[in-house]
Structure 1
Amino acid sequence: MPEQETDPALVIPKALLSAWGAHPVSRKGPRPSLTVGRIVEVAVGLGDRHGPGAITMSRTAAELGVGTMSLYRYVESRADLLLLAVDAALGSPPPPAGATWRERTAELARGLRRVYRAHPWAAEVPVTAEPLAPSFVRWTEEGLAALEETGLDVSDRAQILILLWTYARAEGELAGDQARVRASEEMDAATAHRAFGHRLRTLVPEDAFPRVRELLAADLLSPERAARADDPAQDEAEFDLAVGLILDGVAARAARRGD
């Protein structure tokens, strides 16, 4: 019996083979009426409109106007469909931009943020085989290249990229959560911000939690901040601040390595 049939470590999921173009659809029988690309496009659209729970074989088939069983000729399972949909949503990183490693890395992080803001459902899909999907490999290659100028070894650069990627992913997921809460309470962003401040001031005792009370008095929960709650520029500035703090640490570590 061939080794790859007995060693699970040597088995490559068919969805990954399909993503890399190494597992073509069988050409036996009638001419295929669908393509993997079209199926995945519809799945991404379902995720964008209704969340990851909507990305199922039956719902995707219904959107395509075909029977559910028709999809199994192209995609073997819902797990495979989700993997391919996330891969398509991530796509490719933006072209390298910036004169320094810091500028290029920050722009890469912004690119990831844009992806997860455009497709927040992608942040809710558990990470399984996706790190070997084409999109993940492309983003990883670009991230490692952006950080190369730091002089840090590839393991350090990989951990930095994971940290930035995790933050962008979590920030996208949080934005999706907040949007759902606002929708359920029928509030816009500014109203939701004011409601949060009011509830916190009402519920947190004045003689306790002094640091939280300090937060309440700060700009973070001020009326002026509430008015800017739905301002994309404010949102981006907060993201850039967090990324900047991470990159400050990267610069310090690189400097220590250079001593």
Structure 2
Amino acid sequence: MDVLWGERPAPRRGPRPAFDRERIARAGIEIADREGLAAVTMQRVAESLGVTKMALYRYLPGKAELVALMVDIGIGAPPAPGGAGWREALALWARELFVRFHQHPWTLEATRGARPVGPNELGWMEVAVAALAGSGLDGAETLDTVVVLTGHVRALGEQTVAFGTVSAEDPLTTGVQAILAGREDRFPAVSAAFASAAASGNQNQALDYGVDRILDGVAALIASRR
């Protein structure tokens, strides 16, 4: 919490420090983007900066704090909703979150479980919750909406990371169709669905489809309150 939220020390007289926490965190991000989160150690980060590992401990207590800072900097600030209505704002929010996860796949691993969140992460929640202000939803429903949207984005983000693709559907489609070949009579419904999707050209829409259906449900709930 101190690393994420503590006030930065006031400048002192004399030579400026060689590093700051953000520069160290960005060095860790570069390693994680190339090699994954497991490759990030205080030693590796120190080597990339051309200093000893002990020099980093003047700025950060250890790897846990380093990773927390990396996550907050890597995810960055949320998109500005502008003058969009709640639905457009949340759709933009969800799709941009997917982009951030895809840009830094290790953040999916680093954001599992209970942990402190930083200013940028809390800013994402603020934007999503604020979009629903005045909608008629209560606080629990508003927060649950954000949780459901985040879960959908995370699920597809993890699939794209596993497949190494931007789309979560292409590898799945290829794999299932290979298995279905010659077995269409045994799995007629699945075979027909894949054939229809290919004919319509509406494949690889899982992210938008899920976001839209979640927001359809939210819209119906809001309408019922009016």
- How far residue 22 of structure 1 moved from its aligned partner, in angstroms, is 3.1
Instruction: Summarize deviations over 1:130-158 as a string: whole Å, max 9, x none.
Output: 4x311121011111011114210121111
Q: C-alpha separation between the residues in 1 aligned to 2:38 and 2:193?
A: 36
Change (3 A) 1:212 1:252: same
Q: C-alpha separation between the residues in 2 aligned to 1:155 and 1:135?
A: 22
1:12-91 equivalence runs, <5 A: 16-22=1-7, 24=9, 32-91=17-76
Q: C-alpha separation between the residues in 2 aligned to 1:246 and 1:161?
A: 10
Cα RMSD, aligned residues only: 3.0
Q: Verify: 1:215 aligned to 2:193, yes or no.
A: yes
Instruction: Summarize deviations over 1:64-102 as a string: whole Å, max 9, x none.
Output: 111122222211121111111111111111111353211
The answer (yes or no) to whether the contact 2:3–2:65 under 8 Å persists in 1 is no
Q: C-alpha separation between the residues in 2 aligned to 1:195 and 1:104?
A: 34
Q: Which has the higher helix share?
A: 1
Change (3 A) 1:242 1:195: closer
Q: C-alpha separation between the residues in 2 aligned to 1:155 and 1:195?
A: 40
Q: C-alpha separation between the residues in 1 aligned to 2:62 and 2:219?
A: 44
Q: C-alpha separation between the residues in 1 aligned to 2:36 and 2:134?
A: 39
Structure 2 stretches lacking a partner, 5+ long: none
Change (3 A) 1:247 1:195: closer
Structure 1 stretches lacking a partner, 5+ long: 1-15, 181-188, 229-233
SS at match of 2:58: coil
Q: C-alpha separation between the residues in 2 aligned to 1:205 and 1:81?
A: 51
Aligned equivalent of 1:127? 113
The one-letter code sitting in structure 2 at the alignment partner of 1:211 is A
Percent of pairs identical after alignment?
Answer: 36
Q: C-alpha separation between the residues in 2 aligned to 1:255 and 1:137?
A: 28
- How far residue 31 of structure 1 moved from its aligned partner, in angstroms, is 5.9
1:1-259 equivalence runs, <5 A: 16-22=1-7, 24=9, 32-125=17-110, 126-130=112-116, 132-179=117-164, 192=171, 195-202=174-181, 205-219=183-197, 222=198, 235=204, 237-258=205-226
Change (3 A) 1:107 1:194: closer
Aligned equivalent of 1:3? none
Higher-RCO chain (CA-CA 8 Å, sequence separation at least 6): 2
Stretch deviating more after TM superposition (120-129 or 77-86): 120-129
Q: C-alpha separation between the residues in 2 aligned to 1:110 and 1:195?
A: 25
The alignment of Structure 1 onto Structure 2 pairs a total of residues equal to: 222
Q: C-alpha separation between the residues in 2 aligned to 1:37 and 1:87?
A: 10
Instruction: Summarize deviations over 1:101-149 as a string: whole Å, max 9, x none.
Output: 111111111121111111111011223324x311121011111011114
**TM-score, structure 1 as length reference:** 0.75
The one-letter code sitting in structure 1 at the alignment partner of 2:221 is R
